[in-house]
Chain A
């Protein structure tokens, strides 16, 4: 009974979120879900594809579980949070199980309930602590956007990277995953830092921005370069795709940083850049948008210099 009321609450929350998103975004989201379901249905033609689907769905559910922020809330309202998680994830994968059965005529997808039971039993504490201590400790403090960002997206980033390495044998899939990772990185720059943290660099405005560009590009390429090199080794004739992504990722990271500091204010977060960053990122899929990041970079670099000068002018 409690589970039914909880699902009703979730339904109301979903409708509320869709309403808040607005008609256009809701339509986009629903269309995307329908297309994803259709693609899933079409690929479920044999046992091998069903197993791939099973792995992918397990990964999605695991990602949702470790990144959701309502673990504490659910523990407070229910004596058995495990059941709530199980019902929610069960409801989430049910359409995929049905589509798989209809598409392939096989019931293998039902096996997903085993990992879902295990995932639902996982407590937030152990991987939260691991996220703070393990992931964060390997990132230098000066790259605090990355430190905090990786802690926020938790293990998803690492899992995506591992997926990019594993799926490198399927043409371009690993580069697509790197693109998703870059999209995640763009969100690292939404949070503003204090004035003291910027001053801690003891550099003038230009030096500060250049240092940020170099260190943050290196940080991303630490993940991207191994995947790109394997791609280059397996598909040497497609060297230009690797080169294009390398340049694209470097320019976009500079766009994220310059956009952040173009509007930076002490002790303020700024989410207004996220739309522009997303449009710049789409350039990899829609080639006519490819020059956009360079135009945005030039414009925002100038604005960032002007914005930071009053603060950092004393550090010549």
Chain B
């Protein structure tokens, strides 16, 4: 389990996560939703040890979190200029005994690994970053907006890959602006608001999530739209 206790994190004077506590089960897909600026990316960065918290603790299976077993795919992955997708992937060693058969993954995601990354589209770059994470095969995988830029087919394949990874006891946390994607994929969905996990929903109660999150917003926005149009 990932146990986060009274976590406070931010940038300079600005506090983004304020006394956040949550327990995330192992071997599950956790969705993280929240409006822009609610701290979803900061939350993932703190869990993956890229941002140090101001206070609070994070532990995984009773140990402090470490980059050696947590990988993070950021919203806009960055690659090195002048190398091919295949060369990028060779930089990652697998953390498990399961062999990473590159040609099979290349076929699955339809990605030209022998081309320079500079020539890739946004979606291809995203797929390459996903393959990097899959190849590393760490116990905890964090994906920040992984579906942005992916085509329908690749999104579908990626969802199936995530479901399979969970059966292999990986713990996955995903953020997304597309609620439907999360409701069909995640075991639990956590709603981040005002720097804390405001509410956690079971996938069984997917219909309630939309109402809970957007009820207030819809009322405000509809009034404004009615005035404008």
Contacts and interface: CB of A to CB of B under 8 A. Distances in A.
A265 to B, nearest CB: 11
Given A141-B90, A314-B68, A315-B67, A147 B83 contact: yes
A63 B68 CA distance: 45
A290 interface: no
B88 to A, nearest CB: 8
Contacts of A202: 68, 93
Interface stretch (B72-80, B161-169, B180-188, B221-229): B72-80
A167 B82 CA distance: 31
Nearest to B78: A267
Contacts of B79: 194
Given A132-B116, A148-B82, A266-B78, A196 B132 contact: yes
A31 B157 CA distance: 62
Contact of B66 (A142, A195, A200, A314): A314
A313 B116 CA distance: 31
B84 A132 contact: yes
Given A200-B92, A200-B93, A194 B80 contact: yes
B87 A194 contact: no
Contacts of B50: 195, 311
Bin the interface of chain A by size.
20 to 34
Bin the interface of chain B by size.
20 to 34
A159 to B, nearest CB: 19
Contacts, number: 60
B106 interface: no
A212 interface: no
A30 B137 CA distance: 56
Interface string A140-165: 01101001110110000000000000
A105 to B, nearest CB: 48
15 contacts: A132-B84, A132-B116, A136-B87, A141-B83, A141-B91, A144-B91, A147-B83, A147-B87, A148-B83, A152-B82, A191-B82, A194-B79, A199-B67, A200-B91, A202-B93
A-B pairs with lowest CB-CB distance, top 7: A148-B82, A267-B78, A200-B91, A314-B67, A141-B90, A314-B66, A141-B87
Given A148-B80, A148-B81, A149-B82, 19 more contacts: A141-B88, A141-B90, A144-B82, A147-B87, A151-B82, A191-B80, A191-B82, A194-B79, A195-B50, A196-B91, A196-B92, A197-B88, A197-B91, A199-B67, A200-B91, A202-B68, A202-B93, A314-B49, A314-B67
